């Protein structure tokens, strides 16, 4: 009923040399989000697996609104929202635009996100420049942002951040008891069923994650319904 939901994006780049995060890097990140959330990415599901037919078009598109750059010598901002108070999002567009802060985080953290319904001044996602857009290495395909935007759209990790009986509140993602890493072979069995390791909300390498499910699509889109925490984006 809502059709494809478009999310305008403001990018705030904070780095010792902020111009080193190029506009090509920004554009590749937006392109990856559009491919992943419309399921037009290269489909790498091995044929014959339980999950081969479960990849869905989540029905979100992303358009770049503003990019702002700030040179700041700080090299590890941590995960406590410090960058958001130092370089605030635009108060005029907080209810209509997704803010992405791109800054060095440190501590081996790739990114972090705020779930819907939180404080407007800290709403958005944060990703380290090394994992923002097309870079290099196992996390060089821009899927950290896909994962973080999944959180921003109300998705939990597929293992529910608990043991086998802790739910992610999505019926069509099988239960698991913890994250998977690297590029797991199929089937990787935990909690007596094959894990959907290739889901964007696991912790595997970028090249090995490539799907959302119908259940995740419904959970993400529900927050845009009238009265929902992101209804202002479609108003």
Interaction site with ligand ARG (CB under 6 A): 110-112, 139, 143-144, 147-148, 203-206, 209
Closest CB to ligand ARG among residues 54, 206: 206
Min dist CB 204 to ligand ARG, Å, is: 6
Rounded to the nearest 10°, the torsion over CA 160, 164, 165, 171 is 60
Q: Greatest CA separation found in the chain?
A: 50
Min dist CB 157 to ligand ARG, Å, is: 7
Closest CB to ligand ARG among residues 96, 166: 166
Q: What number of other Cβ atoms are within 10 A of residue 107's Cβ?
A: 8
Residue 148 interface partner, choices ligand ARG, Ca ion, none, CB cut-off 5-8 Å depending on type: ligand ARG
Q: Which DSSP state fits 2? A: -
Residue nearest to ligand ARG (CB): 144
Residue 139 interface partner, choices ligand ARG, Ca ion, none, CB cut-off 5-8 Å depending on type: ligand ARG
Using the rule CB under 5 A, give the single segment among 36-44, 147-155, 172-180, 190-198 that binds Ca ion. 172-180
Q: Are 5 and 221 in contact (CB under 8 A)?
A: yes
Alpha carbon distances (Å) from 83 to 23, 77, 109, 143, 193: 21, 6, 15, 21, 40
* Cα 140 from Cα 91, distance rounded (Å): 31
* Cα 112 from Cα 105, distance rounded (Å): 9
3-state secondary structure of 65: strand
Residue 168 interface partner, choices ligand ARG, Ca ion, none, CB cut-off 5-8 Å depending on type: Ca ion
Min dist CB 142 to ligand ARG, Å, is: 8
Catalytic residue numbers read: 148
Residue 147 interface partner, choices ligand ARG, Ca ion, none, CB cut-off 5-8 Å depending on type: ligand ARG
Q: What number of other Cβ atoms are within 10 A of residue 14's Cβ?
A: 22
* Cα 154 from Cα 219, distance rounded (Å): 7
Min dist CB 202 to ligand ARG, Å, is: 8
Q: Which residues of the shown chain bind Ca ion in the complex (CB under 5 A)?
A: 168, 170, 173
């Amino acid at each position: 009923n809502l059709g494809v939901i478009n999310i305008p994006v403001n990018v705030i780049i904070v780095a010792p040399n902020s111009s080193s995060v190029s506009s090509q890097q920004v554009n590749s990140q937006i392109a990856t989000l559009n491919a992943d959330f419309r399921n037009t990415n290269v489909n790498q599901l091995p044929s014959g697996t339980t999950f081969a037919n479960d990849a869905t078009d989540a029905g979100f598109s992303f358009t770049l609104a503003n990019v702002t750059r700030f040179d700041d010598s700080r090299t590890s901002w941590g995960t406590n929202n410090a960058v958001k108070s130092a370089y605030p999002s635009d108060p005029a567009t907080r209810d209509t635009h997704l803010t992405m802060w791109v800054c060095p985080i440190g501590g081996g953290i790739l990114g972090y996100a705020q779930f819907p319904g939180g404080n407007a001044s800290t709403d958005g996602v944060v990703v380290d420049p090394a994992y923002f857009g097309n870079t290099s290495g196992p996390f060089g395909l821009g899927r950290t942002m896909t994962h973080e935007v999944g959180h921003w759209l109300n998705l939990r990790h597929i293992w529910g951040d608990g043991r086998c009986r802790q739910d992610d509140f999505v019926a069509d993602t099988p239960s698991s008891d913890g994250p998977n890493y690297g590029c797991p072979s199929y089937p990787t069995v935990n909690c007596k069923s094959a894990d959907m390791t290739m889901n964007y909300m696991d912790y595997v390498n970028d090249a090995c994650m490539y799907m959302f499910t119908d259940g995740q699509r419904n959970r993400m889109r529900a927050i845009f319904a009238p009265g929902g925490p992101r209804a202002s984006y479609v108003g």
